[in-house]
Amino acid sequence: MSRILLLVELKGGNDGLNTVIPYADPHYRQLRPGLGVAREKVLQLDERVGLHDKLEPLMESWKARDLAIVQGVGYPNPNRSHFRSIEIWDTASSSTQTLSEGWVARAFEHAPRPQGAGRGTGVDSIVIDTNSLPLMGPDLRTIVMQDAENFLRQAQAMKDNPRVNDGGNPALRHLLAVRREINAAAAGLSDKLHAAPPPVQEYANEGPLGRELDLATRIITAQVPVVAVKIALGGFDTHANQAPVQERLLGLLAGGLATFRRNMIAAGRWDDVLVLTYSEFGRRARQNASGGTDHGTAAPHFVMGGKVKGGLHGAYPSLADLQDGDLRHTVDFRDVYSTIARGCWGQPVSFGQRQIQHLDFIAA
């Protein structure tokens, strides 16, 4: 068993309350008098919550029961700095701890890589974004690239010379080892990516998300044996005039992920993939005076894949019981990670949470 995790970072802090909407809760109307999504527009999932109407493309997955929504994901003593909070999510640390290794790399600490992963390609994970922290660590060979052609061309320009000697200089030894790693990855990727057919369905050409999903699709359909691919969508820091900004982003996200799903199904790889969204925090329950929302805490996140158990998981945080105006988390994000580490890679990993509470969103 080894599945590929497609990690989707929603940069800036996505407003969870207007993503998965507690439309039936009267507190929602009070907290979001202007910014709230009208009840009749909400795509109702059950008698309490529903999706933002711009997430309509995800309904196909919801109906096929391969979209799980994990509600109320956060952590104790939440930090409201973008910078610090994303570091907490990326490294699976507690809010008082500073770690330098990413959580995916930590999942493979002292463990052999899942069978097949990295074999013959010299790369275990690929980041198609600028933030590579979740995948950084000595136990994972991670390549960061904006696009494949550019990476391969640059690697080509830095060809390894197998006869060189570091002369016992550890810094030079490190440099040469990294150069060899780049060359090995490029050699493995080059043939596979060039042989891979383009995605069956094209991605929308608005913003970088489509391009990132396109490359992720090619990597997965080309059978490059990686354990994770990371992409990102930015712009969620909506302090003012939130509605049009978030609507556009949610539309891009849902459209992109729906296309990705169809492409994976067409390539026969949907069962081998698991998509997870994450963001540094949700936003304040009460809208601010600028028609936006400020930095908050817990938020819902999406998990998709052929072997995902669709439906709502975790409890929606109570709007009647806020903590300093913020939602109290009901699911620790590290439990989401532990569930994925076990369900994707067969790694029973604890990230230091007191007791692991596995979630039931992955089929055996």
Partner 1 sequence: MGATALWPVRPSRAATAMGFDEARHLLSRATFGATPAEIRVVEAMDYGSAVDRLLGSWHPRALTAAPSWINEGPAQLRRLQQEAQAEAKEKKGVDGKPLRIVRPVQEQARELRNWWVEEMLVTDQPLVERMTLFWHNHFTSSLAKVSYVPALYRQNELFRREAFGNFARLLKAVARDPAMLLYLDGAGSVARQPNENFARELLELFTLGEGHYSEADIKNAARAFTGWSIERDTGAFVNHIQQHDGGEKTFLGQAGRFDGDDIVAILLRQPRTAERVCEKLWREFVSLSPDPAEIRRLAGILRTGGYEMKPVLRALFLSPAFRDPNNRGTLIKSPVDLVVGSVHLLGLPVPEKTQLVRMMQGLGQVPFDPPNVKGWAGGESWITTYTLLLRQQFMRRMIEATTVSSMDGNMMSMRPDRRAERKEAMERRPVEGRSLRDASEAKLGPTLTGTDAAALVRTFLPRQPIDQVDTGRTPGAIVAAAMLDPVYQLK
Interface residues with partner 1 (CB under 8 A) are 81-84, 87, 98, 100, 127, 130, 132, 136, 141-146, 151, 154-155, 157-158, 161, 164, 167, 169-172, 174-176, 178-179, 181-182, 185, 207-208, 240-241, 290
Query: Between residues 207 and 311, which has the closer beta carbon with respect to partner 1?
Result: 207
- Least Å distance between CB 269 and partner 1? 25
Query: Between residues 185 and 322, which has the closer beta carbon with respect to partner 1?
Result: 185
Tokens of residue 56, six digits: 């309509």
- Least Å distance between CB 308 and partner 1? 29
Residue 118, classed as helix, strand or coil, is coil
**CA-CA distance, 26 to 339, in Å (whole number)?**
33
- Least Å distance between CB 341 and partner 1? 23
- Least Å distance between CB 221 and partner 1? 23
Q: DSSP string spanning 137-190?
A: STTS-EEE-S-HHHHHHHHHTT---TT---TT-HHHHHHHHHHHHHHHHHHHHH
Query: Between residues 161 and 355, which has the closer beta carbon with respect to partner 1?
Result: 161
Query: Between residues 146 and 330, which has the closer beta carbon with respect to partner 1?
Result: 146
**Which uninterrupted H or E stretch holds 70?**
strand 67-74
Tokens of residue 200, six digits: 């069956």
- Least Å distance between CB 86 and partner 1? 11
Burial of 42 (0-12, 13-18, 19+ CB in 10 A): buried
**CA-CA distance, 86 to 80, in Å (whole number)?**
10
Query: Between residues 115 and 241, which has the closer beta carbon with respect to partner 1?
Result: 241
Half-sphere exposure of 82 (CA within 13 A, CB side): 14
